[in-house]
Amino acid sequence: MPRILSRSTVAGAALIAAMTLGACRDTGGGGKLFEVSGKIFVFNYRLARATYVVTLRPLRPMGEGQVAVASFQNPAGGDPFVVEQKIWPKLDKVSLESPALTCVVRNKPYAIAISIKGADGAVLQEIDTTLMSTEDQSILPDRPLVIDQLYTANPDLAGHPDGKLPGEPKPDCSKAG
């Protein structure tokens, strides 16, 4: 004989099921504020320089006074490069770029550590990632091909259209790890 449940039993079971499903709901990435949406080595042939560029995408509204602090591994060895970037709440991304690099080699992972800090300086999120280059820095010219905003040809490279100067000292990469 089938058992008939009372309305209060059915309502209680529905309430428990709703609370259980609510507890399983994704709350937006477990407290994450940002995710890495892009990362690349930029080899600017015209300026004869390489940099890291990392882009962060906000996962929720950003607060006033937040900053992103990125620590980029120095490919030449030594202390990492540290860059601090104000986070503008109305922008849809945060871009972090390192200073010019030397000794970048192909297929070697380089560490990047990013801290998101609140207006009070407290760390709100930490992001650790790596980046590998598909090229060696040796593809860059020895000196910038241009010297100003008008793209005036660098007179030091006269007669060397490839940007390579015979006898030009190369960066010291002996401490590179």
Rounded to a whole number of angstroms, the CA Rg of the chain reads 26
* Residue 31 confidence (pLDDT): 76
Q: What is the pLDDT of residues 29-65, one digit of tens each?
A: 457 999 999 999 999 989 999 999 999 999 999 989 9
User: What are the structure tokens assigned to 163, written together?
Assistant: 């940007």
Does 149 have pLDDT greater than 70? yes
Domain 34-157 has CATH 2.60.40.10: yes
* Per-chain mean pLDDT for the chain: 85
The whole-number average pLDDT for the span 150-171 is: 89
Q: What is the pLDDT of residues 57-110, one digit of tens each?
A: 999 999 899 999 999 999 999 999 999 999 999 999 999 999 999 999 999 999
Contacts of 116 (CB under 8 A, 6+ apart): 33, 34, 66, 67, 68, 87, 123, 124, 125, 126, 127
Q: Where are the domains of the chain?
A: 34-157
pTM for this entry: 0.77
